[in-house]
Amino acid sequence: MLKRVIVTGGAGFIGSHLCEKLVRENFEVLCIDNYFTGTRKNLSALIDKPIFEAMRHDITFPLYVETDQIYNLACPASPIHYQSDPVQTTKTSVHGSINMLGLAKRTNARILQASTSEVYGDPQVHPQIETYQGNVNPIGPRACYDEGKRCAETLFFDYHRQHNLVIKIGRIFNTFGPRMLPNDGRVVSNFIVQALTGSPISIYGDGSHTRSFCYVSDTVEALFLLMSSQNNFTGPVNIGNPSELSILELAELIIKKTGSSSKITHKKIPIDDPTRRKPNISLAKEKLGWIPKVGLEEGLEKTIKYFKSIL
C-alpha cells in the first residue's frame, strides 16, 4: 500500500518541487494550499498523476483527512508577502501548526516542520549552529515570521514530549531556483528580474551583508532525508549551502551571467535585516548523510533560464 503524504504549502516554490520528488518516489501525495503565494501552475506536471491530488485549504482551519506523513511548509516566506498580513502570517505558523500537529496525533503520522534560518535573527554566532538560540527582535516588522516560526518549533517539541509524536524540524536557509515568484522581493529573484529587464539592481546597504544560497533540489533532498531519518532524530537541523558570499558579489555575478547592462543602486537597509547568514551543516552531514550538490553558478544558470521563460 502506498504511503499517504500531505504537503502543506505544496503549490509554493519549494513545496511544488517537494511534491514532484515524492511522486517520483511513489508516494500518494495530497497538496494543501490556499494559493496566497503558491500557484496551480507550479503543479502542472503533477495534476494528471493518479497518485497526486491538490486541495484548496487554509491550514489555520482544521483538516480532516487520513495520512502517514505531513510536511508542513505552509507560510509565506518572503518579507513582502509575510509582512503584507502579519497577523495572518503568525496565525499560519501557530494555528496552522496546532492543526497539523493535531492531525498527526490523530492519524499517528510523522510530521516535519519547515522552519527557517530566521529563527536565529541577526546572529551573533557565525556560522549558525543548531544549538544557538538566536537574536530576534520580538516586536519588529519581521517578528510575525521569525517569532511565528520559533513558536511553531516550540509547539512541535511540546507535542513530541507530551504525546510522543514523531517530529522532524529542518531550518531552511536561503533557497533559490525555478518557480520563485518574480515579485517576491527575495534577493536572487529581485536581481535576476532587474538584470533581465535592464532595471537598476537594488542593493540594500553597501552590499557587504552576506548570505548562503542553496539550490532548491538540494533543499528538497534534505527535507526528504530528514523525514526518512530514524524516529529518535528530531532535529532541528540546518538545511542550507555553507558557501557564503556578499550581496554585492551576488549582484555582480548575476549581471555577468545575464550579460545585463543594469547598474547597481543602493537603498536603505530594512529593519532587523540580518548582516550575516551561513549554516553550519555538520549535523546534516552526520545524521542525514546530506551535503549540497548544486553549486551557486550552476543553480543561477538554471534559475535565469526559468525567469527568461516567464518574463
Q: Any idea what the CATH number is for the domain that residue 97 is in?
A: 3.40.50.720
Q: Which of 145, 159, 215, 306 is catalytic?
A: 145
- Would 35 be classed as within a structural domain? yes
Question: How many alpha carbons lie under 13 Å from residue 192 in its C-beta half-sphere?
Answer: 29
**What cell numbers appear for 271 in the block?**
529593519
- Would 261 be classed as within a structural domain? no
The contacts of residue 152 (CB under 8 Å, 6+ apart) are: 72, 93, 94, 96, 97, 113, 115
Q: Render pLDDT for 142-169 as a digit per residue (tens, 0 to 9).
A: 999 999 999 999 999 999 999 999 999 9
Q: Exposed, middle or buried: residue 246 (CB in 10 Å: 0-12, 13-18, 19+)? A: middle
How far apart CA 161 and CA 165 sit, in angstroms, is 7
**Domain with 288 in it:** 4-176+215-240+279-292
- Would 226 be classed as within a structural domain? yes
Q: Render pLDDT for 29-59 as a digit per residue (tens, 0 to 9).
A: 999 999 999 999 999 999 999 999 999 999 9
- Would 231 be classed as within a structural domain? yes
How far apart CA 156 and CA 222 sit, in angstroms, is 19
- Percentage of the chain beyond pLDDT 70 is 100
- Would 305 be classed as within a structural domain? no
- Helix (H) or strand (E) holding 67, with range, is none
Q: Number of helices (H) and strands (E), helices first, in the chain?
A: 9, 13
The model's pTM: 0.96
- Strand order in 167-172's β-sheet? 52-56, 28-33, 4-8, 69-72, 110-116, 167-172, 237-239
- Would 257 be classed as within a structural domain? no
Reported confidence tier of residue 287, pLDDT bands at 50, 70, 90? very high
Report the domain count for the chain. 1
Q: How far is CA 156 from CA 10, 111, 163, 285, in A?
A: 20, 9, 10, 23
Within 164-246, where are the H helices?
A: 187-196, 216-228
Q: Average pLDDT over the chain, rounded to whole? A: 95
Reported confidence tier of residue 77, pLDDT bands at 50, 70, 90? confident
Q: Is 204 a catalytic residue?
A: no
